[in-house]
Structure 1
């Protein structure tokens, strides 16, 4: 009596194997009769299969230039830099041999408190010179303007103009910086690296490859890694008023290690990059009892394109490594991973068979018990 029941059970399990064998297709419960809603268009996927060998590794690790990139634009901008006065700045105007025209700071007042503040309309008032429009001028230009106006009452006036307090222009820094905040722009040129250093440098969890600089409503992406490690000074921009710098955390710079490893999960990419071998090591290595060393894969999303009809085409690369030999692990150590890569270690055939048996065994035992009950 047991044999027919056992055969019947095995037959049902073979017919339903598409739902119990790992890796098979499963129908979604939300759409009982159709896999996708009728208004959805089936997406197209283009995949490139690339075996990981010495040629591929050499091309992935190639450097465009070994020499630091010289930036004449930055040097010219720094050399020609002149602070422009704006509303809110406080000026100290000194007329030599005419102390009556200069308000002394005194012991209880700083130079900023006793200076001449630029009004909201960009003007200042100075005795015998009257109202002077100084917005957008340098201190040298303001000095010349005051000297010209005083020439009618003072013979050969000697005028010195300095900024006592820089209040009109600032840059703003946020994100993974040790002391996020704002910095005033003054008469000393302020670059991106200078601004970050003045606020304590980058935090430990900063993503130094993706720095966002927003200027006049336009955002651009810069890399501090290129500046610090490669000397690419072109990215070390001279900052301007109201520039907003955001340093994101590297939360998004994750990779995922799945399959037959001892500790599957997600890992953060290090600042200096993470190789395939390092990712496998951080996951406590390949499971020797279940893994197939010939099947180590790296799945990489390379973007979305559109076909002739305008529908999306998802593109991906699948890198395949045979890690069953020492050469394979050497290649894995030279293979650089990118953010959001998925590392998958496939199971050995015997492991897949054992899993199938482990799912089949409870049904066989249950069938055997039913037969015992019927015989009794």
Structure 2
């Protein structure tokens, strides 16, 4: 039996296709510009949508600032011979008598090896008692011991040597050429010198951060700032822990861009235009240059400056809009700072959805026509 099709079949099928497309939507990379604006507090959402201009750019120009406190910066360089708690000393004592206090009979001297400086900075020497060692040089300690023994044995001679100990060492870990524990010596008394001793930085200099932990206090500086701001090249102290690590900040890029991914910061500061460039720029076939959005949870104080208000409570959801086609649009995008955790989203151009609709209609209509042809045979 031959199946007969009505002459209204194709128009009805096209209308049905349109209805289906309208009901279920077409594939796309994210919300449209209209849908984003619908999420503003002025409508049905909970986000403030703000067009970027020079005032907004200035208010939001908040960068990650690192540096050492005054107590770290003002700490003087240790003398190369300054004894610290935890150091180990070697003492040799000569006495000008055959039967001395410390020197055995017939021996030229008494040797006290590995005399450790205790946590309070003292050492104990027989017949001389507790001697303050921390903060003194070996020469000063020699004079103190000699003076105390002089009243008990004629013309004592004392030699003080500084041996290997843990009182003047630092640990260097993370992104350096050779991690390890290093002694603070004359050539390595400052941070940059110690980093060089550890083989230098093994990660990109632009995003390397150096953390110093001292007496439970942790402070951090950009590696590049050690050379651009020499006062950050602090003097080291025994027991310091130095950690070199990569900057952990990142932003997300979504929508009609070259790639959609989580992008780590590759420099200290990144502008909106640089963020777009890092993901391959705008997609020439899809992107709407008037719809570049930056989604961010903004701190209360900054949000109030941006919105010229003083009644906000807590962090606010902000959506910043960049129009690259505006007279100053490229300049504003160049000056607008991207921050850690931001989402950069580029909407699709309106005609893109129209093309997708036409493509879906014509493709489905062609399929229906093929079915009709098969039915007519």
TM range (shorter): 0.5 to 0.7
Q: Distance in 2 between matches of 1:269 and 1:52?
A: 22
Corresponding residue of 2:172? 173
The CA deviation at 1:320 is 1.6
Contact 1:87/1:135 (CA < 8 Å) preserved in 2?
A: no
For residue 295 of structure 1, the aligned residue among 284, 291, 298 is 291
Q: Distance in 2 between matches of 1:227 and 1:46?
A: 43
Corresponding residue of 1:241? 238
The CA deviation at 1:278 is 2.6
Query: What aligned pairs does 1:63-212 form with structure 2 within 5 A after superposition?
Result: 73=71, 76-78=74-76, 83-87=82-86, 89-91=88-90, 93=92, 116-119=113-116, 129=127, 132=130, 136=134, 138-139=136-137, 142-155=141-154, 159=158, 161-186=160-185, 190-205=189-204, 208=207, 210-212=209-211
The CA deviation at 1:247 is 1.7
Q: Which sections of structure 1, spanning at least 5 residues, go unmatched?
A: 26-44, 103-113, 305-312
The CA deviation at 1:262 is 3.5
Contact 1:176/1:206 (CA < 8 Å) preserved in 2?
A: no
Match of 1:242, SS?
coil
Q: Quick check: 1:255 aligned with 2:215?
A: no
Q: Distance in 2 between matches of 1:243 and 1:300?
A: 37
Query: Over aligned residues, Cα RMSD in angstroms?
Result: 4.4
Corresponding residue of 2:30? 23
Contact 1:86/1:134 (CA < 8 Å) preserved in 2?
A: no
Q: Distance in 2 between matches of 1:145 and 1:333?
A: 66
Contact 1:90/1:164 (CA < 8 Å) preserved in 2?
A: yes
C-alpha offsets along residues 251-309 of structure 1, whole Å, 9 cap, x if unaligned?
A: x33333332233444544333533222333343432334322111222234479xxxxx
Match of 1:248, SS?
strand
Corresponding residue of 1:327? 328
Match of 1:78, SS?
coil
Q: Distance in 2 between matches of 1:5 and 1:224?
A: 66
Q: Quick check: 1:278 aligned with 2:274?
A: yes
Corresponding residue of 1:57? 57
The CA deviation at 1:48 is 3.9
Q: Distance in 1 between matches of 2:376 and 2:134?
A: 103
Length-normalised TM-score, structure 1:
0.68
Corresponding residue of 1:339? 340
How many pairs were matched up?
Answer: 330
Task: Say if 1:51 and 1:278 are closer, same or farther in 2 by CA, change over 3 A.
Answer: same
Task: Say if 1:324 and 1:94 are closer, same or farther in 2 by CA, change over 3 A.
Answer: farther
Corresponding residue of 2:372? 371
Task: Say if 1:197 and 1:248 are closer, same or farther in 2 by CA, change over 3 A.
Answer: same
Q: Distance in 1 between matches of 2:73 and 2:30?
A: 59
Length-normalised TM-score, structure 2:
0.67
C-alpha offsets along residues 195-245 of structure 1, whole Å, 9 cap, x if unaligned?
A: 3232233223357564333344554444444443345x3x55544333322
Task: Say if 1:256 and 1:22 are closer, same or farther in 2 by CA, change over 3 A.
Answer: closer
